[in-house]
Amino acid sequence: MRVRTACLLLALTVPVLAGCISTSQQPLTPGGAGNLPSLADLGAQEATKVLDQGPMRTFVWDAVSDVGARGPLVAGALPGGATWTWQRTFEVDRRLGYVDLQLNYTGDGNANLISFVVDDLGRTQCGGAGFSAPKGCTAPVPDNLTAKKSWVLRVQTGFPLSEPGMPFRASVTLHPRAHLPVSDPLAGVDKAIVFRVSDTTAPGSEPNVGVLADGTIFAQQGLSTMRSKDDGKTWQDVSPPTTAQASADPMLFVEPHSNTVYVDQLYVACSVLAWSTDAGQTWLTNPAACGNPGDDHQKIAAGPNPLGLPANAVYYAHSSFAQGVWVSHSYDGGLTFVTSPVVGVTDGRSYDNTGHVLADRKGNVYDPLYMCDSGGYMGLGVSHDFGQTFSFVEVDQEKGGPSANGCYDPDPGIAVDTDGTVYMAYTRPSGVKLTFSKDQGATWSAPVRVSLPSQLSWVHVDAIAGDPGKVAIAYRATSDSAKGPDDADGFAAWYMYVAFVENAASASPTVRVGMVSPPGDPEQRGQVCTTGVACVGGSRNLLDFIDIAVGPTGRVYTVYTDGCKQTCVTPADSRARLGLVGIEEQGPRLFADKAPWAAQGAGTESLLTTLS
């Protein structure tokens, strides 16, 4: 953690990153563009064709598939549940910058093949996934190889099955080192904005963060509920006993007005909810906190109680395996829930998960959504009666792009400032976008891009607001590949950023972007897969979302998963799930004075305690 912080401060104060980015850390440096070396001596096993095109060499294989099945729902239908595999070797050495795999085939619509590049150490470097061909991926070649190495092209049964006798063509193109792009992750970054990165010491994907009125930080990392009382210098595991056993999806929400911390762990049929009003010293639990059984991707929020009871109204948003997105509300602090449909139940609309649900101080509840029908668009479920009924609003009609048919698995972000203006942050093919509504979600402004012009692909976004017109948006981005997260080139380095927006509810907002990840220390290399069961090669480790919060003095905190235990030279090096929190040290504050809830802190007595 000390090394990360030192490198970040150095990167933001001097133009040369001495000691933070070195040849040993980043051996993907492009070679010279002069006379490129011949690759004619690099061979391949049983290639149908070998093509030399300028400085590149391509190996082509024509073959046919066999029968196989993948996944627990279909593998049992075949004897032994076999997965069919075909593979061939090809040579690489340090002259190469990267290899490009392509797979094409034709089938009857039910068949699916997937492909991988496996290095000489047996590690999967990248995979071509999805449900339709063509598909492919790229994998960088480290420049510290001392001799030729044999890598493997592998074609296998995809989800759910492969068929016998289906022709396919696979190719691997070798690119010289000079073809590696040169980019600067600091391009356009405001160097006056400084973040310190704190390691919670607990691993986990899909993390959450929140801050109490006294500045105590909570972060959820998998099954671990971590607490820091010294601004992220040290962390303590204060997990509720009932939520630290097993989980399909973790979730934490901090409601600072009442100083209440909520932890929810999904077990598919329902979920276990625990809450604390004494900063994690003690917990109360509801072992069946849900609405419809068969939930997925749950989110938790809390706000004022419409009945005047001494407990928060608690909101539980989820997508259902049956059909639809739902929000369940509890007016007794999380003891019992009533469920209301949001979208996709009977209206024919298609959705992909639910974003972070949010309740304001006036009984409005917002549930942001990436929609999947009509090529993908942004939508929002809106309630004006404390979650009892919802209407659906289309927010942005920009299509989602070719990845996953325009449908995104990660979550959009939602925020409300102290004036009641609602903000929605999300990714589109044109960038990380921000739009606002001044009429409680009924109509929305023209969106503006907040990601930097130098950034080519982006994924995972969330937003938080403070004083009127002040918004902070956390997101991941890379300046190395324009193919999007699911198909990003293997040399793409991903970093965390926060965009600070002032006058956000105007036609001319001011955007300043700070970098959270230390330069030269990316948190992922290559693909960041968002397509669930279609993901291959280990690139699903970051899962679906990040989180952002604001503290009592207006400082911003963002939590994210880091895939790199050490330096990530290749995609196979970035398969970890480290739990990190970025803490703003210098930069804009979301509150000019302090948060409206900063002076509070006595907490709200639990209704369960009151009734007992």
Better-predicted residue by pLDDT, 346 or 363: 363
Better-predicted residue by pLDDT, 67 or 562: 562
Window from 200-204, 293-297, 581-585 with minimum mean pLDDT = 293-297
Are 252 and 218 within 8 A, CB to CB? Answer: yes
Are 536 and 114 within 8 A, CB to CB? Answer: yes
Instruction: Please state the rounded mean pLDDT for residues 449-477.
Output: 97
List Cβ neighbours of 417 (8 Å cut-off, separation of 6 or more): 423, 465, 466, 467, 468, 469, 470, 471, 504, 505
Which tokens belong to 5? 């912080």
DSSP 523: S
User: Which among 30, 27, 164, 48 has a CA at the least distance from the CA of 107?
Assistant: 164
Amino acid in position 1: M
pLDDT, tens digit (0-9, with 9 covering 90-100), for 236-266: 999 999 988 888 889 999 999 999 999 999 9
Pairing of strands 113-118, 124-128: antiparallel
- pLDDT value at 124 more than 70: yes
How far apart (Å, rounded) are the C-alpha atoms in residues 316 and 329?
A: 6
- What pLDDT is recorded for position 37? 86
Are 109 and 190 within 8 A, CB to CB? Answer: no
User: Which among 137, 328, 276, 364 has a CA at the least distance from the CA of 604?
Assistant: 276
- What pLDDT is recorded for position 159? 79
What share of the chain has pLDDT > 70, as a percent?
Answer: 88
List Cβ neighbours of 189 (8 Å cut-off, separation of 6 or more): 12, 452, 497, 513, 514, 515
List Cβ neighbours of 65 (8 Å cut-off, separation of 6 or more): 84, 86, 105, 111, 113, 155, 157, 162, 163, 164, 165, 166, 168
- What pLDDT is recorded for position 408? 67
pTM: 0.91
- pLDDT value at 80 more than 60: no
- What pLDDT is recorded for position 374? 84
Instruction: Please state the rounded mean pLDDT for residues 297-304.
Output: 95
User: Which among 523, 508, 421, 429 has a CA at the least distance from the CA of 463?
Assistant: 421
How far apart (Å, rounded) are the C-alpha atoms in residues 492 and 478?
A: 6
Amino acid in position 247: S
Window from 131-135, 211-215, 485-489, 526-530 with minimum mean pLDDT = 131-135
With cut-offs at 50, 70 and 90, classify the pLDDT of residue 101.
very high
- What pLDDT is recorded for position 7? 38
User: Which among 222, 313, 32, 23 has a CA at the least distance from the CA of 142?
Assistant: 23
User: Which among 550, 552, 548, 532 has a CA at the least distance from the CA of 540?
Assistant: 532
Better-predicted residue by pLDDT, 68 or 251: 251
Topology of domain 49-179, CATH:
Jelly Rolls (2.60.120)
- What pLDDT is recorded for position 17? 27
With cut-offs at 50, 70 and 90, classify the pLDDT of residue 34.
low
- pLDDT value at 403 more than 50: yes
Window from 299-308, 334-343, 440-449, 538-547 with minimum mean pLDDT = 538-547
Listed in order, strand segments (DSSP E) in 46-176 are 49-53, 56-64, 68-69, 85-92, 96-105, 113-118, 124-128, 135-140, 149-157, 161-162, 167-176
How far apart (Å, rounded) are the C-alpha atoms in residues 210 and 259?
A: 10
Q: DSSP letters along 168-201, please?
A: EEEEEEEEEGGGS----TTTT--TT-EEEEEE-S
Q: Provide the mean pLDDT of the chain.
A: 88
Q: Please compute, for residue 360, the number of CA atoms within 13 A of its CA located in the half-sphere on the CB side.
A: 25
Q: Is the dihedral of CA 96, 174, 122, 114 positive or negative?
A: positive
- What pLDDT is recorded for position 597? 95
- How far, CA to CA in Å, does 548 sit from each of 74, 418, 586, 595? 39, 17, 16, 15
What share of the chain has pLDDT > 90, as a percent?
Answer: 70
How far apart (Å, rounded) are the C-alpha atoms in residues 525 and 345?
A: 38
- What pLDDT is recorded for position 499? 98
Task: Provide the b/e sequence for 143-177 (b: ≥16 CB within 10 Å).
Answer: beeeeebebbbbbbbbbbbbbeebebbbbbbbbbb
> Cβ atoms within 10 A of the Cβ of 67, count?
16
pLDDT, tens digit (0-9, with 9 covering 90-100), for 177-189: 999 999 999 999 9
Residue 175's beta-bridge partner residues? 98
- What pLDDT is recorded for position 9? 34
468: helix, strand or coil: coil
- pLDDT value at 215 more than 90: yes
Which tokens belong to 267? 């077990």
How far apart (Å, rounded) are the C-alpha atoms in residues 98 and 177?
A: 7
Instruction: Please state the rounded mean pLDDT for residues 137-161.
Output: 93
Instruction: Please state the rounded mean pLDDT for residues 142-166.
Output: 91
Are 382 and 370 within 8 A, CB to CB? Answer: no
Total residues found in the chain within this entry: 612
Classify residue 178 by burial, with Cβ atoms within 10 Å: 0-12, 13-18, 19+.
middle
Window from 97-106, 242-251, 411-420 with minimum mean pLDDT = 242-251
Amino acid in position 329: H
- How far, CA to CA in Å, does 152 sit from each of 88, 91, 117, 568? 6, 9, 6, 21
Window from 43-47, 332-336, 351-355 with minimum mean pLDDT = 351-355
Instruction: Please state the rounded mean pLDDT for residues 578-597.
Output: 96
- pLDDT value at 202 more than 50: yes
Which tokens belong to 515? 């970098």
Better-predicted residue by pLDDT, 85 or 407: 85
Helices (DSSP H) in 305-403: which residue ranges?
Answer: none
Domain ranges for the chain: 49-179, 194-586
pLDDT, tens digit (0-9, with 9 covering 90-100), for 348-395: 898 877 889 999 999 999 999 999 888 889 999 999 999 999 999 999
Instruction: Please state the rounded mean pLDDT for residues 64-74.
Output: 74
Better-predicted residue by pLDDT, 12 or 338: 338
> Cβ atoms within 10 A of the Cβ of 263, count?
29
First-to-last C-alpha distance (Å) of the chain: 45
Amino acid in position 279: A
With cut-offs at 50, 70 and 90, classify the pLDDT of residue 401.
confident
3-state secondary structure 398-425: CCCCCHHHHCCCCCCEEEECCCCCEEEE
Topology of domain 194-586, CATH:
Neuraminidase (2.120.10)
| Cis geometry, peptide bond prior to residue 164 (ω within 30 degrees of 0) | no
